Structure 1
Amino acid sequence: MSKIKLAVSAAAGLVTATVLVVTTASAATLFSDDFNDGNSSGWTTSGGTWSVVTDGSGVLRQSGTSSDARARAGSTSWADYTVTARVKPTAVNGTNRFAALLARVQSNTSYYYLALRSNNTVELKKLVGGSSTTLATGPATFTLNAWHTLSLEVAGSTIRGSVNGGAALQATDSQFATGQIGVATFNTAASFDDVVVSSSTAPSPSASASTSPSTSPSTSPSASPSPSPSPSISPSPSIPPLPGAPDGFATVAGQGTGTTTGGAGGPTVTVSTTEAFLDYIARPGPYIIRVSGTITLPTGSTDGMHSVSSDKTIIGVGATARLVGGGLNIGIPVSDAITSPPANAVHNIIIRNLTITGATDDLINVQMFSHHVWIDHNDLSDGGDGAVDIKRGSDLITVSWNRFHDHDKTTLVGHDDENAAQDVGRLRVTYHHNFFDRSDQRNPRVRFSPLVHVYNNYYFDNSYGIASTNESGLFVEGNYFFSVNNPGRVEFSGPLGRMVERNNILVECNHPIEVRGTVADPATFYRYTADPPEIVPSLIPAGAGVGKI
């Protein structure tokens, strides 16, 4: 077969990066309810027909469409906080109806609210004694029988709201200073899930911005156009986005967690020995663990895999922090009998700026319904099995700005064709701005996931790039493939997968990206901006890996 070639030419230059050092502040969780306990204890309802039912997992459903309906929870003394919830409208009676998220609730007739309307608008409003005032409005997609993530923040006199991480509406109003949270419908039946209330925080820069050039050489196989002065990195859907913060699926609310914060709010420790490292990663509670120098992880009875407990940030110091000989396990012990997220699922993990190499098994293994994990700016190579494997019902994960090299089976999403019970509807992962540098295959290979978003990655000399099977959905955009035998394929292992592609560049590749079926647009879940694919060969080698955050 003749090779597909798209010529791209121009000189590749150095990338100048603006760095802002941020001190992470704690955002305490004030309240959460995923309704998996089968009840709505703590909620007070008014109007409508409310019940807890199963929709994949437990949800709070309001099934009436003939009137207003509200459900309230929390403390009347809460002042500054962000409330997020997933909302699925299921039926409307009439036109311009809505489902809403409430904040600073005084009573059933007085509160701030964010209303997602059936005319494809979103409104930031207040209700005073039953009389409503619109504070801000904008476009938003309203889709029946689809989940939408609503976020409403109140901080002092500032009120901000967004849908699916989109552009925020903002207004200033001082009518209500404190109050409960809630959900509501107007002539709309809807389900609500994963309600999380976090105290508002405002991390501030601990150092002024500095500019430093990167001297990392580009290994671009063909010259590419000079990048724009400030190539954009996908923004987090937080309001506003913060430098050095997670993005992608790691920021989407779910399972009682609003976003990924790692060890924020806990002690910061620096470790340089095996004993100290293994001690701190296993401790309960939040910790920021700074790794200094090279730490050798033992094999022993763990096969070289060492478990990380919830609420941890593990981050390398400088460009020389290394874990060798073993890997990191994020997840409780394996049990095929568990088919829904358990209360003790590991969550809220950040792994950044580490070289991890030479493990006898996986370098990083995420399993057993672990969620809200951010794996960023690492150098990953020479593992005995996977470099980053994500499996057994894990969910809401972002893998960004890593360099994968000298590795065969790079990153697997979903480990087995027979594991549908744990995996269907989960395994949602974002891969962006990674350098798949001669990593042979599985970059990634995906089963069962409804959506894996793969964008702005640089593929260099791989056997194959991306594979989709078992009805998984892959959204592939803005990537650059050089000398990849099969950039993207839909496989026959179990049922066929689904794959859509947008704005990719293929150079010296033997096959096109296979396209099959439909896949949800990631922009319905979180906000991001894809870089032009033509700058990827210079942008990614200069920015991916260790020593670059």
Structure 2
Amino acid sequence: MRTSRRVLTVVTGLAAAAAGLTAATATPAAADTPLVGWATQGGGTTGGGSTPPTTVSSASALTSALSSGSAAVIRVSGTISCSGMLRVTSNKTVIGNAGATISGCGFNVSQASNVIIRNLTFRNWNDDGINVQYSTRVYIDHNSFSNGYDGAVDIKRSSDYVTVSWNRFFDHDKTMLLGHSDSNGSEDRGHLRVTYHHNWFDGTNQRHPRVRFGNPVHVFNNYYGNVGSYGVASTQEAGVLVEGNYFENTDDPYHLGEGSSPAGSLVARNNHFVNSGSGQAGGSVKSIPYSYSLDSASSVKSIVTAGAGAGRITIP
């Protein structure tokens, strides 16, 4: 955990379990961070826990390990080239060794629970980078995403209790969709509760995130640098708290409605703007149920650029 982090609500040993290690064997790192946000709810997210790790270095081995019916800690080594979407089942920790890269494909977390994905570089995926659907308790942390076809991290179809933290997104258009359709309220109302914090949106274009139905969705302490089209959009019954973020060279930091989707609600507070628009807010948002501590928005750029992305956590 970085010494400037003051995040609360950490289950004993959870940071170690998230890395697929026991509390006794985990090695602290200056840039490592504990789980915070919605993925701490509903019983918490521990992935494969202390299951002995298995290292994979080929697409076939990775595919087999991800789809196993048993709890697993999967260590990814080297560059794995693949296509399409690889199914991730329940009780999995997928964590990259130094330089681990997924090239050409993405992960499909579907009808799963208790999944952790950390320290991987995703590039050139031909569908989504990570797709989460019909799944709960998912933690996506310290990854890098670039130059993919569709969404980098899309969350939809009644998924719930998800944290997306400390990731870097660059050279990409459609970054993060939350809720895929205005007509899917029967599945999505009361779900799609996601926390996005300490992510680095580095010259990406749109959907940071684009939100439907989820309430409250918490977007805090992210760095938006040179964002092209817009930052956050709250649409179709959503309630989004945009808090303590740093917006730089971003003409449209956040707004209500997007495309044919009607306006949702958005509350903005304590954000920092440099050569950026002021944003559009309105309506009310449900209260955040978990404890957290906010970095000063003016410090977020330096904190996030120093710590976000793959390769910023120590893997023993």
User: Quick one: which of 25, 29, 37 aligns to 1:248?
Assistant: 37
What CA deviation, in whole Å up to 9, does each residue of 1:522-541 have, x standing for no partner? 1xx11110100111111111
User: Quick one: which of 255, 262, 273 aligns to 1:495?
Assistant: 262
Q: What is the deviation of 1:207?
A: 6.0
Name the SS of the counterpart of 2:61 in structure 1.
Answer: helix
User: Quick one: which of 174, 183, 204 aligns to 1:409?
Assistant: 174
Structure 2 residue 252 is matched with structure 1 residue 486 = yes
Q: How does 1:23-34 map to 2 (within 5 A)?
A: 23-24=16-17
Give the TM-score of the pair, scaled to structure 1.
0.53
What CA deviation, in whole Å up to 9, does each residue of 1:454-501 have, x standing for no partner? 000000011210001101000010000001120000016343200001
What CA deviation, in whole Å up to 9, does each residue of 1:21-60 have, x standing for no partner? 97539xxxxxxxxxxxxxxxxxxxxxxxxxxxxxxxxxxx
Structure 2 residue 79 is matched with structure 1 residue 294 = yes
What CA deviation, in whole Å up to 9, does each residue of 1:108-131 have, x standing for no partner? xxxxxxxxxxxxxxxxxxxxxxxx
Give the TM-score of the pair, scaled to structure 2.
0.90
Aligned length: 301
**What code does the residue aligned with 2:237 have?**
E
Name the SS of the counterpart of 2:295 in structure 1.
Answer: coil
Name the SS of the counterpart of 1:486 in structure 2.
Answer: coil
CA distance in 2: counterparts of 1:408 and 1:386, whole angstroms: 8
Name the SS of the counterpart of 1:538 in structure 2.
Answer: helix
| Partner residue in 1 for 2:162 | 397
What CA deviation, in whole Å up to 9, does each residue of 1:242-267 have, x standing for no partner? x75422000111xxxx1101011433
CA distance in 2: counterparts of 1:360 and 1:208, whole angstroms: 35
CA distance in 2: counterparts of 1:23 and 1:478, whole angstroms: 27
User: Quick one: which of 528, 532, 535 aligns to 2:292?
Assistant: 528
| Partner residue in 2 for 1:317 | 97
**What code does the residue aligned with 1:24 have?**
A
**8 Å Cα contact 2:131-2:155 kept in structure 1:** yes
CA distance in 1: counterparts of 2:241 and 2:40, whole angstroms: 18
**8 Å Cα contact 2:255-2:280 kept in structure 1:** yes
| Partner residue in 2 for 1:267 | 52
CA distance in 2: counterparts of 1:512 and 1:422, whole angstroms: 33
Q: How does 1:372-383 map to 2 (within 5 A)?
A: 372-383=137-148
**CA gap 1:330/1:210 in 2 versus in 1, 3 angstroms:** closer
| Partner residue in 2 for 1:355 | 121
Name the SS of the counterpart of 2:60 in structure 1.
Answer: helix
- Which 4+ stretches in 1 moved above 3 angstroms? 15-18, 20-25, 207-211, 492-495
Structure 2 residue 282 is matched with structure 1 residue 516 = yes
**CA gap 1:249/1:291 in 2 versus in 1, 3 angstroms:** same
Structure 2 residue 61 is matched with structure 1 residue 276 = yes
**CA gap 1:482/1:285 in 2 versus in 1, 3 angstroms:** same
**CA gap 1:208/1:411 in 2 versus in 1, 3 angstroms:** closer
**What code does the residue aligned with 1:449 have?**
G
Q: How does 1:75-474 map to 2 (within 5 A)?
A: 204-206=23-25, 244-253=33-42, 258-297=43-82, 299=83, 304-318=84-98, 320-331=99-110, 345-367=111-133, 369-462=134-227, 463-474=229-240
CA distance in 2: counterparts of 1:208 and 1:497, whole angstroms: 43
CA distance in 2: counterparts of 1:22 and 1:431, whole angstroms: 18
**What code does the residue aligned with 2:88 have?**
V
**8 Å Cα contact 1:444-1:465 kept in structure 2:** yes
**CA gap 1:540/1:23 in 2 versus in 1, 3 angstroms:** closer
RMSD: 2.2
Q: What is the deviation of 1:373?
A: 0.3
Contiguous gaps of at least 5 residues in structure 2: 6-12
CA distance in 1: counterparts of 2:67 and 2:159, whole angstroms: 19
**CA gap 1:22/1:260 in 2 versus in 1, 3 angstroms:** closer
CA distance in 2: counterparts of 1:23 and 1:402, whole angstroms: 19
**What code does the residue aligned with 1:385 have?**
D
**What code does the residue aligned with 1:327 have?**
G
**What code does the residue aligned with 2:17 have?**
T
What CA deviation, in whole Å up to 9, does each residue of 1:378-399 have, x standing for no partner? 0011111000000111111000
The share of aligned pairs that are identical, in percent, is: 48
**What code does the residue aligned with 2:273 have?**
L
CA distance in 2: counterparts of 1:207 and 1:436, whole angstroms: 29
Q: What is the deviation of 1:430?
A: 0.1
| Partner residue in 2 for 1:547 | 311
**8 Å Cα contact 2:15-2:34 kept in structure 1:** no
* Higher strand proportion (structure 1 or 2): 1
